[in-house]
Amino acid sequence: MFIEVNSHTFHEEELLPAAAILQSGGICAFPTETVYGLGANAFDEAAVSKIFKAKGRPQDNPLIVHVADSVQLADICIVTPLAEKLIARFWGGPLTLILPKTDAVPRVVTAGLNTVAVRMPSHPVANALIRLTGLPIAAPSANLSGKPSPTRASHVVTDLDGRADCIIAGGDCEWGVESTVLDLTVTPPAILRPGAVTKEELAEEIGEVIYGTGVGAPKSPGMKYTHYAPSAPVYIAEGPDALERVYKAASGYQNPGILYYRTEQPHLPVSISAGSTPAEYAARLFYALREFDSRGVDVIFAIPPEAGGMGDAVRNRLFKSAGFKTIE
Ligand code: AMP
Ligand code: MG
């Protein structure tokens, strides 16, 4: 089933068929403010297993459970005082919290961990859909495992047409990178994945916050897999003479592409602008990586944003998409 809605003016009745699919054990892709998600009833093991199969996602990479209110939250995790503080400031929004799980959450959702990742989206369609089902919805990003996350409905169709029971198309995602994942079961709290809620903002609210080892190694099992990779290899070029080095490296290729940021417009066959702020970069990054693929480039060069704030989230995704390859 394919349902197209206007995320600003839709009526909840338009989502009822999708809610029914989720209630009866199906999987449904839907827009959120970060990226599109592929959801299933978090309490239904068989339904959640379908997500892993549809994405080709490794079983040991746990899912985020999405809720619409605090009653649902109490069913799936233990809400600590620190969590309450962060929830009051940042929910609904792009912040996922790792908390101790309740017995109600099946192992398939958490990949056997005794913690669960929880988030409340701000996106009106995601929110309404979860409320209509009356269920917590386990949902990773709605892409094939390893590919760039989907920030437009067309990306979801490309990856999951015929693999999902339902796709809700609701326009472009506002943030464009996945949620910040914060582990509240360790002291000090550790960011396992940087996102639109920044380290600086979190520290303002709860004091010391650190980046987990390698941003994600031990506690975020998903991080060991290839991520966000377009078909063409990606190389990162940083520093004042980055463009010069890109031109040099590009001379060995037929159809090189560049994702440029705060430089003059490069003279390469395929040049895509990443905007002029880290937030614009975030909103365009996954779109751009997929666009390079559809324009058939044989290599992608990318000029990253500076570190700090949302720049950290963009750099994290970009370096992973490049497999950490840089040109000197
Ligand atoms: P995705 O929904 O595809 O963006 O991936 C969800 C991210 O959250 C992955 O990086 C997971 O490894 C991470 N995650 C989910 N649950 C947990 C958990 N209980 N502990 C640590 N990381 C988690
Ligand atoms: Mg993902």
What are the pLDDT digits (tens) for 95-137?
Answer: 999 999 999 999 999 999 999 999 999 999 999 999 999 999 9
pLDDT band at 138 (very low <50, low <70, confident <90, very high): very high
Concatenate the DSSP letters of all residues of 236-303 into one string.
Answer: E--STTHHHHHHHHHTT-SSEEEEE-SSPPP-SSEEEE--SSHHHHHHHHHHHHHHHHHTT-SEEEE-
What's the pLDDT tens digit per position in 164-174?
999 999 999 99
What's the pLDDT tens digit per position in 25-68?
999 999 999 999 999 999 999 999 999 999 999 999 999 999 99
Name the closest ligand to CA 140.
1
Ligand 1 pocket test, pick from 30, 34, 52, 63 with the greatest ligand atom count within 8 Å of Cβ, gives: 63
Mean pLDDT of the chain: 95
193 bridge partner residues:
181
Q: Rounded to the nearest whole angstrom, what is the distance from the C-alpha of residue 180 to the centroid of ligand 2?
A: 12
Q: How much helix, strand and coil, in percent to the nearest 5, is found in the chain?
A: 35, 20, 50
Which DSSP symbol is given to 69? Answer: S
Ligand 1 interacting residues, C-beta cut-off 6 A: 61-62, 64, 98, 110, 113, 115-117, 140-141, 178, 181, 192-193, 219-223
Name the closest ligand to CA 222.
1
Residue bearing the CA closest to ligand 1, atom 5: 140
Residue bearing the CA closest to ligand 1, atom 13: 220
What's the pLDDT tens digit per position in 241-283?
999 999 999 999 999 999 999 999 999 999 999 999 999 999 9
Q: Rounded to the nearest whole angstrom, what is the distance from the C-alpha of residue 239 to the centroid of ligand 1?
A: 32
Q: At what angle do helices 278-294 and 153-160 cross, to 10 degrees?
A: 40
**pLDDT over 70 for what percent of the chain?**
96
